[in-house]
Amino acid sequence: MQGRIFADMVFRDNGPSEDCLYLNVWTPANSADAHLPVMVWIYGGGFQAGAASEPRQDGENLAHKGVIVVSFNYRLGVFGFLSHPDLTKESPHHASGNYGLLDQIAALEWVRKNIAAFGGDPANVTIFGESAGSMSVSALMASPLSKGLFKQAIGESGGAFSLTPRDESVSQTGKTGTAFAESMHATTLEELRAKPAEEVLEAALHGKGRFWPNVDGYFLPENAARIYAAGKQAHVALLAGWNADEGSAAGFFGKEQPTKENYEAKIRSQFGKDAEKILKLYPADTEAEMKMSARDLASAEFIAYSTWKWLDMQVKTGESPVYRYHFEQAPPMPAGEPSHGAYHSSDIEYVFQTLDWKHLAWTAGDRKISDVISSYWTNFAKTGNPNGAGLPEWPGYNKKDRFTVMHLHDADGSTTHAAADTERARYELLDRVAREREKSAAKTKP
């Protein structure tokens, strides 16, 4: 059940239904004795939209590279993340919300119990996802409920961290749920459950509450940042990164004109005493530089910082290999439409090698980098290491290797290559800002 939220989502199923908890399996195995590595995909959509029937997430071409691919649905929005005091009371775990994440656990448990019949190795499962799917991967690594359900993890644009503090406690999200129920004139759970699903969805889509993962004390005993800081997350090999144009200069400026004066004013408004340090690391000496810095800051605020923080925490407190990438391939656009760069979600077709589901002017470079990326991903699923024959060497992301980043692109005369991280100072400053904001928010809580 979901609204029509994202125009780029195209579904091949029969439409929204509460009867939605199904999964897909693509297998190249000829027998149950193949013991192939398994890749389990988690779609994005802000936890509000998405489904496993999208053609851009079709697993057939990845499966041709010697892995089994599984994708599944999980509940979204109000159906997946409504928290309410009465739901908490009736739960044997004294928790409510996060039903969509519990669906993900159920899918992984299904894989563990059944994938051998499809020729899969239940002891070699890689979870991977994009946007909210990537946030889910980082949350699954933090959850004690997922212990032993996967061996590797891949995150594409998103982690369970934030530059701006959010009160995610079950008590706070329960207030949102109570207000929502009252808006529907439902004073009891029975009355709320008696409402038609379409009516509940319509109220959620046009109401003020946002239904999002919370710290429920069950799926997440505490917030992800604390779990990772204590080293309590899953110590599995991690490959993660983000796209060059997750945000845009236009998004940064909003209704304001993109001038140096407005840029500096917004920085001072957002960062206060740290503004001069931010301006030094995100300079605006020329118009082109200003727009690039505005884009990078918008990307960081939206999703890049959260992904960086996830990687950094796994390096600091984890015990397994970590690999970081930066996706820079700008896909072709429809005739007459300007390029949006390597925008958010544009990596999906490259990962799955499903470029041709969109009728665009794909180049040989697009097809080459898609083959390279899908090979890195499937190699990682097989061994916990993306490297393999015929591919540019991908060093680890750690202090010894100068926090090397793999730049994924094949256009304008440049190709995929590894290089030392040049943005670490930026993200370390943003991280300090995030910690100060969290302390300040804690002090102002009643």
Output the six-digit token pair for 164: 């701006």
Cα–Cα distance, 306 to 311 (Å, whole number): 9
Quickly list H helices, 143-286: 170-183, 189-193, 197-206, 224-229, 249-253, 260-271, 275-281
> Which residues have CB under 8 Å from 179's CB, separation 6+?
208, 209
Position 55: which residue type?
P
10 Å CB burial of residue 439 (0-12, 13-18, 19+) is: exposed
> Regarding beta strands 414-420 and 120-130, do their DSSP bridges make them parallel or antiparallel, or are they unpaired?
unpaired
DSSP helix/strand/coil, 63 = helix
Cα–Cα distance, 172 to 187 (Å, whole number): 18
Cα–Cα distance, 145 to 210 (Å, whole number): 25
Q: Is the dihedral of CA 333, 244, 366, 53 positive or negative?
A: negative
DSSP helix/strand/coil, 144 = helix
* Residues labelled as active-site residues: 131, 246, 344
Cα–Cα distance, 237 to 323 (Å, whole number): 8
**H or E segment at 25?**
strand 23-26
10 Å CB burial of residue 415 (0-12, 13-18, 19+) is: middle
Contact (CB, 8 A) for 224 and 313: no
